[in-house]
A and B are shown apart, each in its own frame.
Chain A
Amino acid sequence: MADEGIAGSVAAPGGGDRPSTIVGRSPWQIFWMRFRRDRVALGAGVFLVLLAALAITAPLIARDLVHHDPNALFRDTLNEIGLPKVGPSAEFWFGVDTSGRDVFVRTIYGARTSLLVALLSTGFAVVLGILLGSLAGYLGGWVDTVISRAIDLTLSLPVLLFSIGIAAACSIKAEGCLGGLIQPGISLVTAIIALFTWPYIGRIVRGQVLTIRNKEFIEAARAMGASTGRILLRDVLPNLAAPIIVYGTLIIPSNILFEAALSFLGVGIPPTTPSWGRMISDAARGQLYTVAWWMLFFPGMALVLTTLAFNLVGDGLRDALDPRTQVTG
C-alpha cells in the first residue's frame, strides 16, 4: 500500500522501507525536550528544589549546623530598650528579631510553613476543581448550572474578609469546626485557601471538558461501548493533564502569598510557628525595619524569590505543554 507521506520530522514512512531507528516520542518526552531548553524555568525549578530541600532539613540545620532553635530567645542580642542590635553576622546569618530569635532559622522554618500550606491547599483545590469542573462540563444541565454558580459566587467574594471571618469562627473553640475535622492552625488555613482557589481550577477544567466532550474521539469511545466513567478516566482526564499542571503550578505562588497575607494579619497560624507573613508583620510593626532592616529583608526576599520561581516554572510549563507552539527537531 502506498504511503501518503509523513507528518513532521518524527514519523518514518509507513511503508517501513527505512528501518525505524527513530523511536516514536510520547507527548511527555516532547514536553521534557522543550522544557529542558528553557533555561530560566529550569533555573527557577532548581531554586525551588533547593528551597524544598532546605525546608525539609530545617530542623537538622537548626540543631546541628546553626545550633539555634527557632523559638530560642537570645536576650543578649537585644539592646537596653529591647531592639535587636545584631544584624547578619557569623553567629546569626540573617540577624535576630525583636525577641532575640535567629532570623535565618525562622526563615527556613517559614519555608516549611509556606510550602506545606501552599502545596496542600493547591492539592485540595486541584482535586476539588477536577472533580466538580469535569462533572459540570461533562454532565451539563442543572449540575453544570449549580457548580458554575458556585464558582462565580466564590470568585466574587471579598476573599480576605471572608477568610478572616471563617478563621475567627473556627478558632473560637479549640476543637475547630466541621466536628473537629478542621482545627485551628495549619489545617484551617489550608482549608480556607483551598476553598477560595478551587474555582480557578474548576473553571478551567469545565471549559476544557466542554471542548473535549464534543471531540469525535469521545463519540468513537461511546460507539465502541465504553462507559461514562471509563471515558472520563481514560479519554478526558489525560487530556486535562497539561492545563491542570500549568494552572496548578501558577496557583501555588498566589497561595503562598495568600498564606503570608493571613499570617501578616495574624489569622490562622499560631504565633510560635515561624511564617514569612508573620515575620514581615513583626518587622513592619512600629516601623522596626528602619532600625533592623534584616527583619524585613530576608523573609521578604524569600517570599519574593519563591513566588517568582513558581511563576517562572509555571510559564515554562505552559510554553512547553502548549501544543500551539511548534518545536521541531
Chain B
Amino acid sequence: MSVQVGERAMPGTEEARTPLVRLRGVKKYFPITRGIIFQRRIGNVHAVDGVDLDIYPGETLGLVGETGCGKSTLARVIMRLYDPTEGTIEFEGRDITRLKGRELRELRRHMQMIFQDPFASLNPRRTVGSIISEPFRLHKTVPRDRIKAEVQQLMELVGLNPEHYNRYPHEFSGGQRQRIGVARALALRPKLIVCDEPVSALDVSIQAQILNLLEDLQEEFNLTYLFIAHDLSVVKHVSDRVAVMYLGKIVEMAPGGTLYRNPKHPYTGALLSAVPIPDPRLAAHKKRIILEGDVPSPIDPPSGCRFHPRCPSAQFPICSEVEPTLEPMRPGQVVACHFPLPDRAVIDEGAEEATPSAGPSAG
C-alpha cells in the first residue's frame, strides 16, 4: 500500500511481471426467470459485462463504483464462488475458470475473502475459535493438536484477545468481528485476499484501525489485495492502482496518484468531486461534478457508452451509439471515453499533495 509498492506496479515494469490474477472478457449474467415449473428466461442482469483486469503480486488494486455496479459479483467470480458466464480467469498463469472438486478446493488455500458485513459473515452459532480454525480443519495444514495455539497466535496478530477463543460473535463489536474475519482469511496464508468493502459497515474511527491492520499484514505476509469500496475516499489511501467500475464495466484504471490528479473519465471525476476535502482552502479549488439520476438498470443497460444518460460531457449521437473501449492515456492510465476530461479537471493547485494527513493514522 506504500508509495514504493505503487511504483513497483507502475507500467513499464508491468509487462515484465506475471499477474497473480488475470481476467479476460469476464462476464457474469444472472438470469431473470418466470414460471413455476417450467422456468423461462425472460432477461439477464448484466452484473459484470466484459472485464479485463490484471492484479500484480504485492500490490493493492482498488475497485470503486456505486452500489450495484457489479463489484461484489466480480469479486465472487474471481473467488470462483460464481461461475462466470463468459471469459477466463487465470491465477498465477494457470486457467482456473472451470476448475472443480479437489483442484478447486486446493486453489482456495491461495485466495481468501473478507466480507462487507461483519455480522452476516460470521456464523452466530460458532465460537471464534471454531470460526478461525475451520480453514485449518478443512485443509489440514496444521496438526490437530496445534490448531488452538495457531488460532490464538492469529488472534493476537489481528489484535484480538486470545483468551476470547471460546466466545461467540455476538459478544464482539463490529470492528472486532471484522478482525475475526481478517484472521480467518489469513489463516491459510493466502497469496490473494479479496476485501469486499471491509470497512463500509464500520464507524469512521474504526475504519482507520482496520485499514492499518490490513496494511501491516500486507507488509508482513507479502499479500496481494483486491480492495473494493463504493467511494474513492477509502480506496484513495490504500491502493496502488485504482479501477473504476460502472454498470459492469471498468471505465478507467490508473495508479492512485494519477487518478486523483488527473481523472480522465467523467464518472471518475464525479466520484472524485464527491470525496470531501477537509481543508476549506483547498475545497474552494474543487470543481463539483454532480451526478444526476440513478444508476440505470443492469437488466437493460444504455446503448453506446453506458454512462451517457448521466454524463455531463456527453456528445450525441456518438456517445449513445458507439461504445468506447479502454484506451491508454498516459503511462499506466487507461480510459473508456470518447471525450476524456482535461488535466486537473476536478482539483487544482496540487490539492492532492497537501491532503495526505487524511490517511489512516497510527492506531
Chain A: residues with CB nearer than 8 A to chain B? 1-8, 10-16, 20, 24-27, 142, 145, 215-217, 219-226, 235, 238-239, 241, 323
> Which 8 A-B pairs give the minimum distances between C-beta atoms?
A1-B159, A4-B175, A24-B167, A216-B121, A225-B105, A238-B125, A225-B108, A216-B115
> Could you tell me if B109 and A225 are in contact, using CB atoms closer than 8 angstroms?
yes
A238 and B124 alpha carbons, distance in the complex (Å): 9
Instruction: Identify the closest chain A residue to B130 (Cβ).
Output: A234
Contacts of A222 in B (CB 8 A): 81
Dominant secondary structure at the A interface: loop
- With A10-B171, A26-B168 in contact, is A223–B124 under 8 Å at CB? no
Q: A11-B164, A11-B167, A224-B108 are in contact. List 20 more A-B contacts (CB 8 A).
A: A1-B209, A2-B209, A4-B209, A5-B173, A6-B173, A8-B170, A11-B171, A12-B164, A20-B163, A20-B164, A24-B171, A145-B37, A215-B121, A217-B120, A217-B121, A220-B184, A223-B112, A224-B184, A225-B105, A241-B125
Contacts of B81 in A (CB 8 A): 219, 222-223
> Could you tell me if B173 and A223 are in contact, using CB atoms closer than 8 angstroms?
no
Interface residues of B in 269-296 (CB under 8 A from A): none
> Could you tell me if A223 and B79 are in contact, using CB atoms closer than 8 angstroms?
yes
Contacts of B213 in A (CB 8 A): 1
Contacts of B120 in A (CB 8 A): 215-217
> Could you tell me if A1 and B163 are in contact, using CB atoms closer than 8 angstroms?
no
Contacts of B124 in A (CB 8 A): 27, 239, 323
**Residue among A1, A5, A13, A25 having the largest count of chain B Cβ atoms under 10 Å:** A1
Stretch at the interface among B89-97, B134-142, B335-343: B134-142
**Residue among A3, A4, A238, A239 having the largest count of chain B Cβ atoms under 10 Å:** A4
A20 and B161 alpha carbons, distance in the complex (Å): 10
Contacts of B79 in A (CB 8 A): 223
B172 contacts chain A at the CB level, 8 A cutoff = yes
> Could you tell me if A11 and B172 are in contact, using CB atoms closer than 8 angstroms?
yes
B363 contacts chain A at the CB level, 8 A cutoff = yes
Could you jot down 26 A-B contacts, CB within 8 Å?
A1-B209, A3-B176, A4-B175, A4-B176, A5-B175, A7-B172, A7-B173, A11-B164, A11-B172, A11-B173, A14-B172, A14-B176, A20-B161, A24-B127, A24-B164, A24-B171, A25-B168, A25-B171, A145-B36, A216-B115, A216-B120, A217-B123, A223-B111, A225-B138, A235-B123, A239-B125
> Could you tell me if A8 and B36 are in contact, using CB atoms closer than 8 angstroms?
no
Contacts of B113 in A (CB 8 A): 219-220, 223
Q: Which of B117, B138, B188 contacts A216 (CB 8 A)?
A: B117
> Could you tell me if A224 and B163 are in contact, using CB atoms closer than 8 angstroms?
no
A326 and B73 alpha carbons, distance in the complex (Å): 35
A145 and B37 alpha carbons, distance in the complex (Å): 7
Contacts of B115 in A (CB 8 A): 216, 219-220
- With A14-B176, A15-B161, A220-B184 in contact, is A7–B112 under 8 Å at CB? no
Q: Which of A8, A12, A219, A224 contacts B138 (CB 8 A)?
A: A224
Instruction: Identify the closest chain B residue to A221 (Cβ).
Output: B134
A25 and B164 alpha carbons, distance in the complex (Å): 11
B325 contacts chain A at the CB level, 8 A cutoff = no
CB distance from A222 to the nearest CB of B (A): 6
A10 and B168 alpha carbons, distance in the complex (Å): 10
> Could you tell me if A4 and B173 are in contact, using CB atoms closer than 8 angstroms?
yes
